[in-house]
Chain A
Amino acid sequence: MSTATHKLLKGSTGDWEMVIGLEVHAQVTSNAKLFSGASTAFGGEPNTHVSLVDAAMPGMLPVINEECVRQAVRTGLGLNAQINLRSVFDRKNYFYPDSPQGYQISQYKSPIVGEGEVVVELDGGKTATIGIERLHLEQDAGKLLHDQSPTMSYVDLNRCGVALMEIVSKPDIRDAEQAKAYVTKLRSILRYLGTCDGDMEKGSLRADVNVSVRKPGAPLGTRCEIKNMNSITFIGQAIEYEARRQIEILEEGGAIDQETRLYDPNKGETRSMRSKEEAHDYRYFPDPDLLPLEFSQSFVDELKAGLPELPDQKKTRFVADLGLSAYDAGVLVAERESAVFYETVLEKLANRARDGKVAANWVINELFGRLNKEGRDITDSPVDAAQLSGIIDLIGEGTISGKIAKDLFEIVWQEGGDPRALVESRGMKQVTDLSAIEKVVDDIIAANPDKAAQVKDKPQSLGWFVGQVMKASGGKANPQSVNELLKSKLGI
């Protein structure tokens, strides 16, 4: 591993460095909302998952959902972060119809999770360590529907009160690639932990991106915040655009206005949403309806003991125990489902020590390659872990060759079935019986006397004979046996 060098942007006055910080809003995986018993299920009819508390009816009071607390602590532990045994919920006051209380319950001065860090993988095997400033719990807002009536807006409160974790990075990110790698890694960790499904299309994970530029080594510049990004690709594009926009302004002698901007993916540009002057005064103060959130170290320890193996640990283990390359291990652990698939294959292998590495190659090259080609996800792979381990067993024990294995993989992909049974029924077994091969070898030598004569001077042309024999045997001949047989017959 080596520490990253980051990309600088060239301007007319020299190089510029980007300084980027992200606020990621991750929807907590829980059945009920943060302060009410209403369901968090996605896609219900409008206003069908709304309790009296969510609708802020008079006299209603919030009650903390302990599962959301556990999820936040698990996440904090997964980010190697400080867990605060005492934190405070505050009210963030603003008027908008998506917020029935007239305030969002959030955590302002005392968040549940403090500083931590995430190591992200970059191109070329480099890594960068991105600091986490804090993680806090807060309520999601409802959704306004502007397309239901020509004159009125409607509001759907289904999402209102759903628990979010706001994960704030330190301004440690230096270019778009790092930002994308950071969100990718964060998403992966959350999915491993099962604390957020990471579904960016459904809005379960979204990011506000703070961007500023400076000459390398200079003090921090004025930042702009790009709100509500829900695609990793767009995050990269928005950062590139925004940094260049700021550089252009600065190089023309202008100054950056601190403001909130929105990214338009169709035009590929960011636009001003509101200036600093228009920013709300949220009048934060501790929510008097809720006591400070307190729990014991043993509560944290228990959650820690129950944490699953996270991608970094898994990668290290794959490299150390199975001899995978860091790159291959990284590919396998990047998505929780991929790692689960690979480990299921491993579990089912007859000889893990012998074939673990082969299995990694098969998962990465054959399976992922094929899935990518068809735009399919590992979770709906037509070839399951048992089938793939069956194929690898057959290779390992020498029953089929690697080439036949690819054919077999194709059959299993298309038709399904047990690999071993398929090999039997379709006669795909490798022929290692020398007498069976010998006749084929003799015939080919006899039919090609010129080449047989030449091969003594040009041993590299032996390959041609091997190919011919393999072809004649329908690929079932054991290549090694063929090789040896040819050598002795040809006298080399």
Chain B
Amino acid sequence: MTDLTSLTLAEARKGLAAKTFTSLELTDAHLNAIEAARVLNAFVMETPDRARDMAKAVDEKIAKGDAGPLAGIPLGIKDLFATKGVRTTACSKILGNFVPTYESTITSQLWRDGAVMLGKLNNDEFAMGSANETSCFGPVGNPWRRDGSNTTLVPGGSSGGSASAVAALLCMGATATDTGGSIRQPAAFTATVGIKPTYGRCSRWGIVAFASSLDQAGPIARSTRDAAILLRSMAGHDPKDTTSVDMPVPDYEAAIGKSVKGIRIGIPKEYRLDGMPAEIEKLWSEGAAWLKAAGAELVEVSLPHTKYALPAYYIVAPAEASSNLARYDGVRFGLREQGRNINELYENTRAEGFGAEVKRRVMIGTYVLSAGYYDAYYLRAQKVRTLIKKDFEDCFAKGVDAILTPATPSAAFGIGEKGGADPVEMYLNDIFTVTVNMAGLPGIAVPAGKDAQGLPLGLQLIGRPFDEETLFSLGEVIEQAAGRFTPAKWW
């Protein structure tokens, strides 16, 4: 029954409702696919017994006609989400075999709605990375390869496991998180759909924190519709996260197929980078043309502070991270490397437990917050952030409904190809996505085409705060025009 894995979530939901197959069958099909795809290293923890138990339980509910909106749908969970009784590591050695006694708000909402957990997905250590190469469990393979090449490429990051697993049809959808592009960039690298909702739309409770003012969870899915279905279950106000917003969650799926006639799409001139590959340019123009053909109106807009976004992001995010990661000290949970006194215990534990990229960011963050540097770095970066936010507000105030940009400056690259000598080379991957986090806006990445080597490329749509619905409507237009992309199976 392996063909069950090729269904979209929406199609599977229909099949389950019609009792064409059971959740257990659907779940088993995916568990088999996971087993066969271990070379991708997308899952860091498979939970087949739990998956089958959950599937059986939900099958009984479906039989009784008491099924939630995600009843029987097998999902993968990024290892940043705390799952009760299931090891949660953020793919860092420092968490060791940490098993939470609590379930994150988002995953508990997914289980409430009937979803089935297949296991925990690989990611960059503490979500710090753009290629899923910093995980303590090793890199993740992208199911996509260049035409005629055997080189394994990165799936992007930090939600590389989520993107790879969804693209390789190992799960029907996955949870992911996005601090500077960690949902949208891997989605673009794997021809999947990923949405980072508005900051505050989803609860952060129970998600291992990277940079609290930027972190936001969202789904990676096989289609725009699937993403809409998943986000509805994930979103919502949570009294345990005071930054989450108390607004009703719309039926996002209703936005799929809705006319985009008259919607004003901004094309920001500052995103036209020097030396941008011609095929990215072409993709961007094509996307704009599809939207126009569907009735949307195109306007050139200016986001003048765009060029400061990346440097400001790499001050704000590490600053928050340096403080958020202070709790990993070897005292209460996770790894402990003994020392002769408490300072040695801290030093040994953190030296052994954190990988190189995490250490780099903790050091940058500590530096920019330290006495004498705070004003020059952290405070100034926050001012830049305010300006970036204002750029978007000005744009929306002029009647622009959404902004279309490329999702990434390039297609997927090979493992170990980038950032080896200069970490900034890797950071540049986030150039189109970080502004959205800095402004707290929703952003969706949808597959829009392929480059000359057959690798998928994505476009990004940025929306007004809490207007994810418009992004789903527009994303669907691009998806309909560009078609869906599935990698040739090589694993």
Contact = CB atoms under 8 A, between A and B. Distances in A.
A102 B329 contact: yes
Given A101-B327, A102-B323, A283-B323, A60 B332 contact: no
Contact of B326 (A57, A62, A103, A288): A103
B328 to A, nearest CB: 8
B332 A289 contact: no
Interface stretch (B2-10, B364-372, B421-429, B469-477): B364-372
B386 to A, nearest CB: 13
Interface string A103-126: 100000000000000000000000
A95 B208 contact: no
Nearest to B325: A102
Contacts of A61: 204-205, 240-243
Contacts of B371: 281, 283
29 contacts: A52-B102, A56-B332, A57-B102, A57-B332, A58-B88, A58-B100, A58-B209, A59-B82, A59-B104, A59-B206, A59-B208, A61-B205, A64-B242, A91-B323, A95-B326, A95-B329, A97-B331, A101-B326, A102-B325, A102-B327, A102-B329, A153-B342, A285-B323, A288-B211, A289-B209, A289-B212, A289-B242, A290-B242, A290-B243
Nearest to B341: A153
Interface string B342-383: 110010000000000000000000100111001000100000
A58 B98 CA distance: 10
The 10 closest A-B pairs by CB, nearest first: A102-B326, A288-B213, A288-B212, A283-B369, A56-B327, A59-B206, A58-B208, A281-B371, A59-B82, A289-B212
Contacts of A284: 369, 374
Contacts of B207: 59
B299 to A, nearest CB: 34
Nearest to A290: B242
A76 interface: no
Interface of B: 81-82, 88, 90, 95, 98, 100-102, 104, 204-209, 211-213, 239-243, 319-320, 322-323, 325-327, 329, 331-333, 342-343, 346, 366, 369-371, 374, 378
A53 to B, nearest CB: 9
B183 to A, nearest CB: 18
Interface of A: 52, 55-64, 91, 93, 95-97, 100-103, 153, 155, 281, 283-285, 288-291
A155 B239 contact: no
Given A59-B104, A61-B205, A285-B374, A95 B323 contact: no
A42 B413 CA distance: 58
Contacts of A283: 322-323, 366, 369-371, 374
Given A61-B204, A155-B331, A283-B369, A93 B374 contact: no
Contacts of A289: 209, 212, 242-243
B363 to A, nearest CB: 12
A283 to B, nearest CB: 4
A55 B329 contact: no
Contacts of A57: 100, 102, 332-333
Contacts of B332: 55-57, 100
Contacts of B320: 285, 288
Contacts of A59: 81-82, 100, 102, 104, 204-209
Given A58-B98, A93-B323, A291 B369 contact: no
Nearest to A95: B346
A97 B342 contact: yes
B369 A285 contact: yes
A56 B324 CA distance: 10
A61 B204 CA distance: 8
A290 B370 CA distance: 21
Contacts of A96: 342
A285 B378 contact: yes
B179 to A, nearest CB: 12
A63 B240 contact: yes
Nearest to B243: A291
B242 A63 contact: yes
Contacts of A155: 331
Which of A60, A101, A283 is most buried by chain B, counting CB atoms within 10 A of its CB? A283
Given A59-B208, A289-B242, 11 more contacts: A56-B327, A56-B332, A58-B82, A58-B333, A102-B329, A103-B326, A155-B331, A281-B370, A283-B370, A288-B212, A289-B243
A101 B343 CA distance: 16
A350 B92 CA distance: 77
Contacts of B343: 95
Given A55-B332, A57-B102, A58-B95, A100 B366 contact: no
Contacts of B240: 61, 63
A56 B327 CA distance: 7
Nearest to B345: A97
Nearest to B239: A63
B239 A103 contact: no
A149 to B, nearest CB: 14
Contacts of A100: 327, 331-332
B99 to A, nearest CB: 11
Contacts of B323: 91, 93, 102-103, 283, 285
A91 to B, nearest CB: 5
A58 B82 CA distance: 8
B182 to A, nearest CB: 16
A59 B175 CA distance: 15
A58 B331 contact: no
A328 to B, nearest CB: 50
A52 B82 CA distance: 12
A303 to B, nearest CB: 21
Contacts of B212: 288-289
Nearest to B101: A52
Nearest to B102: A52
A288 B200 CA distance: 12
A59 B366 CA distance: 21
A474 to B, nearest CB: 73
Nearest to B200: A291
Contacts of B206: 59-60
Contacts of B209: 58-59, 289
B89 to A, nearest CB: 9
Contacts of A285: 319-320, 323, 369, 374, 378
Contacts of A62: 242
Contacts of B342: 96-97, 153
A46 to B, nearest CB: 14
Contacts of A291: 242-243
